[in-house]
Structure 1
Amino acid sequence: MKSLLILGAGTSGTMMANHLVSKLPKKEWKITIIDQHKTHYYQPGFLFLPFDIYTTKQIKKNGKKFIPKKVNYIQEKIELIKPKENKVILGNGDVLNYDVLIVATGTDIAPEETEGMSGPEWHKSIFDFYTYKGAKALRNKLRDWQGGKLVVHITEMPIKCPVAPLEFAFLADSYFKHKGIRDKIDITFVTPLDGAFTKPKATEALHYLLEEKDIKEVTDFNIERIDYENNKIIDYADIEVAYDLLVTVPTNMGDSLIQRSGMGDDLNYIPTNKSTLQTKDYENIFAIGDATNLPASKAGSVAHFEAEILTENILRFIKGEPLKEEFDGHANCFIETGEGKALLIDFNYNQEPVKGTFPFPGVGPLKLLEESRTNHMGKMAFRWIYWNMLIKGIHIPFVSATMSKQGKQLDEA
Structure 2
Amino acid sequence: MKNLVILGAGTSGTMMANHLVSKLPKKDWKIHIVDQYKTHYYQPGFLFLPFDIYNENQVRKEGKKFIPKGVEYHQLKIEKIDAENNLVELENGVLSYDILIIATGSKIAPQEVEGMHSKAWRDTIFDFYTYEGALALRNKLREFKEGKLVVHITEMPIKCPVAPLEFAFLADSYFDKKGIRDKVEITYVTPLSGAFTKEYSSKKLGYLLEEKNIKLETDFAIERVDFENKKIVDYIDKEISYDLLVTVPTNMGDEVIEKSGLGDDLNFVPTHEKTLQSLEHENIFVIGDATNVPASKAGSVAHFQSETLTDNILLYINNKPLKEEFDGHSNCFIETGKNKALLIDFNYEQEPVTGTFPIAGIGPLKLLKESVLNHWGKLAFRWVYWNLLLKGIPIPFVSRNMSTAGKNINK
TM-score tier, shorter chain, comes to: over 0.9
1:69 is displaced (CA, Å) by 1.6
Distance 2:91 2:207 in 1: 51
Matched residue, 1:151: 150
Distance 1:200 1:264 in 2: 29
Query: What does residue range 119-138 of structure 1 map to in structure 2 within 5 Å?
Result: 119-138=118-137
Matched residue, 2:345: 346
Amino acid at match of 1:313: N
Matched residue, 1:27: 27
Matched residue, 2:370: 371
TM norm structure 2: 1.00
Matched residue, 1:226: 225
In structure 2, stretches of 5+ residues that fail to align are none
Query: What do the CA deviations read for 1:203-235 (whole angstroms, capped 9, x no partner)?
Result: 000000000000000000000000000000000
1:259 is displaced (CA, Å) by 0.4
Distance 1:145 1:117 in 2: 20
Preserved CA contact (<8 Å) 1:313 1:323: yes
Distance 1:368 1:354 in 2: 7
Distance 1:267 1:411 in 2: 36
Classify the secondary structure of the residue corresponding to 2:30. strand
Classify the secondary structure of the residue corresponding to 1:296. coil
Distance 1:343 1:363 in 2: 17
Query: What does residue range 198-217 of structure 1 map to in structure 2 within 5 Å?
Result: 198-217=197-216
Give every structure 1 segment of 4 or more consecutive aligned residues whose post-TM-superposition deviation is greater than 4 Å.
none
1:411 is displaced (CA, Å) by 3.8
Distance 1:396 1:279 in 2: 27
What count of residue pairs does the alignment treat as equivalent?
411
Amino acid at match of 2:8: G
In structure 1, stretches of 5+ residues that fail to align are none
Matched residue, 1:326: 325
Query: What does residue range 10-409 of structure 1 map to in structure 2 within 5 Å?
Result: 10-92=10-92, 94-409=93-408
Distance 1:411 1:64 in 2: 46
Amino acid at match of 2:86: N
Amino acid at match of 1:87: L
Query: What do the CA deviations read for 1:319-359 (whole angstroms, capped 9, x no partner)?
Result: 00100000000000000000000000000000000010000
TM norm structure 1: 0.99
Preserved CA contact (<8 Å) 1:351 1:411: no
Classify the secondary structure of the residue corresponding to 1:17. helix
1:91 is displaced (CA, Å) by 1.6
Query: What do the CA deviations read for 1:286-334 (whole angstroms, capped 9, x no partner)?
Result: 0000000000000000000000110000000000010000000000000
Classify the secondary structure of the residue corresponding to 1:171. helix
Amino acid at match of 1:198: T
1:107 is displaced (CA, Å) by 0.1
Query: What do the CA deviations read for 1:357-386 (whole angstroms, capped 9, x no partner)?
Result: 000000000000000001001000000000
Distance 2:260 2:229 in 1: 40
Preserved CA contact (<8 Å) 1:289 1:298: yes
Distance 1:243 1:41 in 2: 30
Distance 1:392 1:299 in 2: 17
Distance 2:379 2:8 in 1: 26
Distance 2:64 2:156 in 1: 32
Amino acid at match of 1:278: Q
CA RMSD of aligned residues (A): 0.6
Classify the secondary structure of the residue corresponding to 1:344. strand
Query: What do the CA deviations read for 1:99-142 (whole angstroms, capped 9, x no partner)?
Result: 00000000000000000001000000000000000000000000
1:191 is displaced (CA, Å) by 0.2
1:22 is displaced (CA, Å) by 0.4
Amino acid at match of 1:252: N
Amino acid at match of 1:134: G
Distance 1:196 1:402 in 2: 26
Query: What do the CA deviations read for 1:230-249 (whole angstroms, capped 9, x no partner)?
Result: 00000001000000000000
Amino acid at match of 2:24: L
Query: What do the CA deviations read for 1:264-306 (whole angstroms, capped 9, x no partner)?
Result: 0000000000000000000000000000000000000000000
Preserved CA contact (<8 Å) 1:41 1:60: yes
Matched residue, 1:5: 5
1:147 is displaced (CA, Å) by 1.1
